[in-house]
A and B are shown apart, each in its own frame.
Chain A
Amino acid sequence: MPENANDPIYQTDALIAEDIDAYLEKHQHKTMLRFITCGSVDDGKSTLIGRLLYDSKMIFEDQLAALESDSKRVGTQGQEIDFALLVDGLAAEREQGITIDVAYRFFATENRKFIVADCPGHEQYTRNMVTGASTADLACILIDARKGVLVQTKRHSFLCHQLGIKNLVLAVNKMDLIDYDQKKYDAIIADYAHFAESIGIESFTAIPISGLAGDNITSPSDNTGWYDGPTLMEHLEAVEVRSDANLAHPFRMPVQWVNRPNLDFRGFSGLISSGSVKPGDTVRSLPSGKTSTVKSVVTMGGDLEEGVAGQSVTITLDDEIDCSRGDVLAAADSPPEVADQFESTIVWMDEDPLVVGRAYWMKLGTQMVSVTVAEPKFEIDVNTMEHLAAKTLHLNQIGVAEITTDKRIVFDPYTENRALGGFILIDKITNHTVGAGMLHFSLRRAQNVHWQAVDITRDDHAAMKNQKPRVLWFTGLSGSGKSTIANEVEKKLAIMNRHTFLLDGDNVRHGLNKDLGFTETDRIENIRRIGEVAKLMTDAGLIVLTAFISPFRADRQLVRDMMGEGEFIEIHVDTPLEVAEQRDVKGLYKKARAGELKNFTGIDSPYEEPESPEIRVNTVAMSPEEAADYIIKQILPLK
Chain B
Amino acid sequence: MSLTHLQRLEAESIHIMREVVSEAEKPVMLYSIGKDSAVMLHLAKKAFYPSPPPFPLLHVDTTWKFKAMYDLREKSAADAGMELLVHQNPEAEEMGVNPFDHGPLHTDMWKTQGLKQALDKYGFDAAFGGARRDEEKSRAKERIFSFRTASHGWDPKSQRPELWNIYNAKKKKGESIRVFPLSNWTELDIWQYIHLENIEIVPLYFSAVRPTFEYEGGLFMADDLERLERVMGKRPEITERSIRFRTLGCFPLTGAVESEAATLPEIIQEMLLTTTSERQGRVIDKDSGDASMEKKKQEGYF
| A474 in the interface (beta carbon within 8 A) | no
Question: What separation, in Å, do the CA atoms of A106 and B172 have in the docked complex?
Answer: 34
With known contacts A16-B273, A259-B48, A259-B50, A115–B163 Cβ distance under 8 A: no
The A219-252 residues at the B interface (CB cut-off 8 A) are 241, 243-244, 247
Is A259 in contact with B166, judged by CB distance below 8 angstroms? no
Is B170 in contact with A419, judged by CB distance below 8 angstroms? no
CB-based nearest A residue for B196: A28
| B21 in the interface (beta carbon within 8 A) | yes
The A91-128 residues at the B interface (CB cut-off 8 A) are 91-92, 94, 101-106, 108, 112-113, 115, 127-128
Is A104 in contact with B183, judged by CB distance below 8 angstroms? yes
Binds B, one of A430-438, A482-490, A619-627: A430-438
CB-based nearest A residue for B275: A61
Cβ-defined partner of A312 (8 Å) among B10, B52, B164, B192:
B10
The prevalent SS among residues of A at the interface is mixed
Is A310 in contact with B161, judged by CB distance below 8 angstroms? no
- How many chain A residues touch B (CB < 8 A): the figure is 79
B 257-269 binary contact with A (CB < 8 Å = 1; else 0): 0000000011011
| B106 CB, nearest partner CB in chain A, Å | 23
Question: What separation, in Å, do the CA atoms of A60 and B187 have in the docked complex?
Answer: 13
Is A308 in contact with B277, judged by CB distance below 8 angstroms? no
With known contacts A91-B290, A102-B141, A244-B2, A424–B166 Cβ distance under 8 A: yes
Is A89 in contact with B140, judged by CB distance below 8 angstroms? yes
Question: What separation, in Å, do the CA atoms of A482 and B12 have in the docked complex?
Answer: 53
Is A310 in contact with B7, judged by CB distance below 8 angstroms? yes
- How many chain B residues touch A (CB < 8 A): the figure is 66
Is B168 in contact with A424, judged by CB distance below 8 angstroms? yes
Is B22 in contact with A257, judged by CB distance below 8 angstroms? yes
Cβ-defined partner of B5 (8 Å) among A20, A32, A103:
A32
| A349 in the interface (beta carbon within 8 A) | yes
With known contacts A62-B277, A269-B18, A300–B11 Cβ distance under 8 A: no
CB-based nearest B residue for A33: B5
Contacts of A244 in B (CB 8 A): 2-3
Is B161 in contact with A349, judged by CB distance below 8 angstroms? yes
Is A256 in contact with B15, judged by CB distance below 8 angstroms? yes
The A498-541 residues at the B interface (CB cut-off 8 A) are none
| B171 in the interface (beta carbon within 8 A) | yes
Question: What separation, in Å, do the CA atoms of A243 and B51 have in the docked complex?
Answer: 28
CB-based nearest B residue for A18: B269
| A147 in the interface (beta carbon within 8 A) | no
Question: What separation, in Å, do the CA atoms of A241 and B4 have in the docked complex?
Answer: 11
Contacts of A261 in B (CB 8 A): 50-52
Is A130 in contact with B163, judged by CB distance below 8 angstroms? yes
Contacts of A299 in B (CB 8 A): 46, 49
With known contacts A29-B4, A271-B11, A17–B168 Cβ distance under 8 A: no
Is B45 in contact with A241, judged by CB distance below 8 angstroms? no
Is A108 in contact with B188, judged by CB distance below 8 angstroms? yes
| A366 in the interface (beta carbon within 8 A) | yes
Question: What separation, in Å, do the CA atoms of A97 and B265 have in the docked complex?
Answer: 41
| A605 in the interface (beta carbon within 8 A) | no
| A423 in the interface (beta carbon within 8 A) | yes
Is B22 in contact with A256, judged by CB distance below 8 angstroms? yes
Is A311 in contact with B3, judged by CB distance below 8 angstroms? yes
With known contacts A256-B18, A422-B166, A241–B7 Cβ distance under 8 A: no
| A618 in the interface (beta carbon within 8 A) | no
| B84 CB, nearest partner CB in chain A, Å | 20
Is B192 in contact with A436, judged by CB distance below 8 angstroms? no
Question: What separation, in Å, do the CA atoms of A90 and B2 have in the docked complex?
Answer: 36
Cβ-defined partner of A113 (8 Å) among B5, B18, B268, B272:
B5
Question: What separation, in Å, do the CA atoms of A113 and B187 have in the docked complex?
Answer: 13
Is B172 in contact with A31, judged by CB distance below 8 angstroms? no
Is B184 in contact with A260, judged by CB distance below 8 angstroms? no
Binds A, one of B30-38, B117-125, B131-139, B211-219: B131-139
| B141 CB, nearest partner CB in chain A, Å | 5
With known contacts A20-B266, A257-B22, A364-B166, A106–B134 Cβ distance under 8 A: yes
| A263 CB, nearest partner CB in chain B, Å | 13
Cβ-defined partner of A257 (8 Å) among B21, B45, B137:
B21
Contacts of B21 in A (CB 8 A): 257
| B115 CB, nearest partner CB in chain A, Å | 22
Is B168 in contact with A363, judged by CB distance below 8 angstroms? yes
A 447-467 binary contact with B (CB < 8 Å = 1; else 0): 000000000000000000000
Is B276 in contact with A61, judged by CB distance below 8 angstroms? yes
| B71 CB, nearest partner CB in chain A, Å | 24
The B1-26 residues at the A interface (CB cut-off 8 A) are 1-12, 14-15, 18-19, 21-22
| B153 in the interface (beta carbon within 8 A) | no
Instruction: Kindly name the residue among B45, B50, B186 whose own CB sees the greatest number of chain A CB atoms within 10 A.
Output: B50
| A599 in the interface (beta carbon within 8 A) | no
Is A135 in contact with B164, judged by CB distance below 8 angstroms? yes
Question: What separation, in Å, do the CA atoms of A94 and B294 have in the docked complex?
Answer: 13
| A195 in the interface (beta carbon within 8 A) | no
Is A89 in contact with B161, judged by CB distance below 8 angstroms? no
CB-based nearest B residue for A127: B161
Is B265 in contact with A21, judged by CB distance below 8 angstroms? yes
Question: What separation, in Å, do the CA atoms of A29 and B48 have in the docked complex?
Answer: 26
Contacts of B184 in A (CB 8 A): 104, 106, 115
A 575-599 binary contact with B (CB < 8 Å = 1; else 0): 0000000000000000000000000
| A3 in the interface (beta carbon within 8 A) | no
Is A103 in contact with B170, judged by CB distance below 8 angstroms? no
Contacts of B22 in A (CB 8 A): 256-257, 325, 366
Is A300 in contact with B192, judged by CB distance below 8 angstroms? no
| A213 in the interface (beta carbon within 8 A) | no
Is A101 in contact with B141, judged by CB distance below 8 angstroms? yes
Question: What separation, in Å, do the CA atoms of A432 and B184 have in the docked complex?
Answer: 24
With known contacts A106-B186, A310-B7, A422-B166, A101–B156 Cβ distance under 8 A: yes
CB-based nearest A residue for B23: A368
Contacts of A260 in B (CB 8 A): 51
Contacts of B266 in A (CB 8 A): 20
With known contacts A91-B294, A257-B22, A261-B50, A310–B163 Cβ distance under 8 A: no
| A111 CB, nearest partner CB in chain B, Å | 10
Give 26 A-B contacts (CB < 8 Å), ordered by A residue. A13-B273, A16-B273, A20-B265, A28-B4, A28-B6, A31-B3, A32-B4, A32-B8, A61-B276, A62-B275, A62-B277, A90-B137, A90-B138, A90-B294, A101-B156, A104-B133, A104-B140, A106-B184, A113-B189, A130-B161, A243-B8, A299-B46, A308-B3, A363-B168, A422-B163, A433-B160
* 6 tightest Cβ-Cβ pairs between the two chains A and B: A61-B275, A32-B5, A91-B291, A312-B14, A300-B49, A60-B277
Mark A residues whose CB is within 8 Å of B: 13, 16-17, 20-21, 23-24, 27-32, 60-63, 87, 89-92, 94, 101-106, 108, 112-113, 115, 127-128, 130-131, 134-135, 241, 243-244, 247, 256-257, 259-261, 265, 267, 269-271, 298-301, 308, 310-312, 314, 325, 349, 361, 363-366, 418-419, 422-424, 426, 431-433, 436
Give me 5 other A-B pairs in contact (C-beta within 8 A), A259-B48, A271-B165, A349-B161 excluded: A16-B273, A24-B268, A134-B163, A267-B50, A310-B11
